[in-house]
Chain A
Amino acid sequence: MELLSGAEMLVRALKDEGVETVFGYPGGAVLHIYDALFQQKSISHVLVRHEQAAAHMADAFSRTSGKTGVCLATSGPGATNTVTGIATAYMDSIPMVVITGQVQSDWIGDDAFQETDIVGCTRPIVKHSFMVKKTEDIPATIKKAFYIASTGRPGPVLVDIPKDLTNPAVTYEYNYPSKVKLRSYNVVSKGHSGQIKKAVDLLMAAKRPIFYTGGGVIQGNSAAELTELVRKMGFPCTNTLMGLGGFPGDDPLFLGMLGMHGTYEANMAMHHADVVMAIGARFDDRVTNHTSKFCPNAKIIHVDVDPASIAKNIPVDIPIVGPVDQVLKEMLEQLEKTDEKPDQQALEAWWKQIDAWRAYHGLRYETKPDILKPQGVIEELYRVTNGEAIITSDVGQHQMFAAQYYKFKYPRQWINSGGLGTMGFGLPAAMGCLVARPDATVACVTGEGSIQMNIQELSTCLQYNFPVKIINLNNQSLGMVRQWQDMQYQGRHSSSTYEESLPDFIKLAEAYGHVGMRVTKPEELEGAMKEAFALKDRLVFMDISVDPSEHVYPMQIKDGSMRDMWLSKTERT
């Protein structure tokens, strides 16, 4: 029998869950926990400079590794600083366990020093949360937290622990439960075979089919099954922003991203399709455009582990509730057994049409002789990294250019905040990736706006030697905001520029102990980028001046159908 304090139990429970790294920041309510962390060796701790970054790191650690990331913060301001990070993970269905300290039990409700009702604050943005009431409950609560976070539709789970429960002077017998059973939480483990059969039949009869796949394929580890299915059928495939890497970006069957900034061919193909098979995608408003005009002639198959995702925004003809990997495997098995083949003649005509769309307006941009285009920088990044880097991103135009122009080959290679669109995500995300994959090349594509939202983490990067390559597409403005102002507010740039107040990012990087590189001319880019990536052990901040007047195209026209797009500043469909 082993006697442990609450703090020791927590640390031991994390170890028993297989946790190797915790991202966090100390404070009064978690000091007992920090002391317990200090006295053991199995779990290391990354000290961030702001708790928001700890949450993003844990989140990106999950996105990269498929394991559940953990962050730790003190009560009050420490806990509230994690809120944006929790909401970010929640919107993208990322498993994460957030541990917060709370004031001692008998002070709760008294407006005690650094007391906030963090369970209340985060209630709408967690999959579930716990306030631990008794020390003995800590192991079982941690077990449940990991189980809930990582199963079904994943999501963040918060565990709030009052300080007195971690008191080192009070010890209890430690038992880590081997299993959890929650009578009120049942995860669907299998899609309905009859529904899968119906889906196969519909796909076989389709004349203009398309696969539309999303983050569920990445989260559900089913990129291989998806790729096999798409190739077997010979149908076109498009990915959401969250689904990129789920199907190889350089495959001829791939149409690129769909949606608001999706490719012309992907959006046209969706609009004209007669069968749309959605897999682990949630018909987000950035994808569908006006729901009443969405895919007017299509029958829709929808595979999702969360029944609430199905028919939420768009009515569905064949719903399949189940985990993607199992459903796709069963689909492949059923295909194995049938002699039926897709309608080759119809497919040929469909591809001819798609190729014509590609030829008419595939992804393109105009170049200028004396100034770099952001799209060109991403293409260079793709070349220099051989298409093999993990790319994290912040939010804005640079994010869309990265999504469009870096052809992701693998799942978990593209790490970005889609649902919440959190500026400040990119740098801590890159750090979380490096904890999960220390040998990987990790680049953070960012903008001068976003990078300043968590720039303090440059200090953490030095402490733990995270050799992130920061690709700052510096357009001297909140470019995405400015684009909307150009297009909808007659160019009135209300508070989207900085009037010469931007810092010297090179000096800034150097002040934090890193390497800074400035690129202003097109001819400097290739050499500088190669040099930066050759510095394997150093963080390099590449501040790259790009055309400030550039817009992201295509761009769907609000309230239209998927095929209604601006294709450049002057052309629309």
Chain B
Amino acid sequence: MRRIISILMENEPGALSRVVGLFSQRGYNIETLTVAPTNDPTLSRLTLTTSGSDRTIEQITKQLNKLIEVVKLVDLSEGAHIERELMLVKLKATGAQRAEIKRTADIFRGQIVDVTSSVYTVQLAGASDKLDAFLESVGDASILEVVRSGVSGIARGDKVLAL
């Protein structure tokens, strides 16, 4: 099952490589990964998505918790949460395609953030499956370049991941 694991860790060089290294050492997979400092500059927040059996996920969280630089960790997928990913896509946009792409972008609440005579750049935010659905709708033939931020997420309600 797909999981979103969110980690607060020391904002120190080397911390990220320990987290990533753990996944390759132990044969776990990382599907997406995002990391940036938080409002507390001594802490970084890292969010990753992975998948595996419940036992594998339990080992992943236990092993992550053992890393000295990992301060706190939560498996967001265990409770209600909000998941977002940002995507920028360059699409071939000539002739009739221009209107079609504009319409699709609107349906998905995307924005066209850059335009040339032959290319639209669309920005889209949402859960990963929504971004997948958009790419499917516009079709491979018109896609020139895709860049996705990877998933970030936060729990719903009063729960916070903080010190």
Contacts and interface: CB of A to CB of B under 8 A. Distances in A.
A131 B71 CA distance: 20
Interface in A127-167: 127-129, 131, 148
B58 A311 contact: yes
A183 B25 contact: no
Tell me the dominant secondary structure on chain A's binding face: mixed
Contact of B17 (A123, A182, A308, A312): A123
A184 B59 contact: no
Interface in B36-80: 55, 58-59, 62-63, 65-66, 68-71
A440 interface: no
A124 B59 contact: no
Contacts, number: 34
Interface residues of A, number: 18
A311 B69 CA distance: 24
B25 A124 contact: yes
A380 interface: no
A184 B17 contact: no
Contact of A131 (B14, B63, B65): B14
B10 interface: yes
Contacts of B58: 311
B10 A184 contact: yes
Contacts of A185: 68
Contacts of B69: 184
Contact of B68 (A124, A128, A307): A128
A447 B78 CA distance: 53
B18 interface: yes
Contacts of A129: 14
Contacts of A182: 68
A156 to B, nearest CB: 13
Nearest to B17: A123
Nearest to A157: B68
Interface of A: 119-120, 123-124, 127-129, 131, 148, 182-185, 306-308, 311-312
28 contacts: A119-B14, A120-B17, A123-B17, A123-B18, A124-B21, A124-B25, A127-B68, A128-B68, A131-B14, A148-B68, A182-B68, A183-B71, A183-B163, A184-B9, A184-B10, A184-B68, A184-B70, A184-B71, A306-B66, A307-B62, A307-B65, A308-B59, A308-B62, A308-B63, A308-B66, A311-B55, A311-B58, A312-B59
Interface of B: 9-10, 13-14, 17-18, 21, 25, 55, 58-59, 62-63, 65-66, 68-71, 163
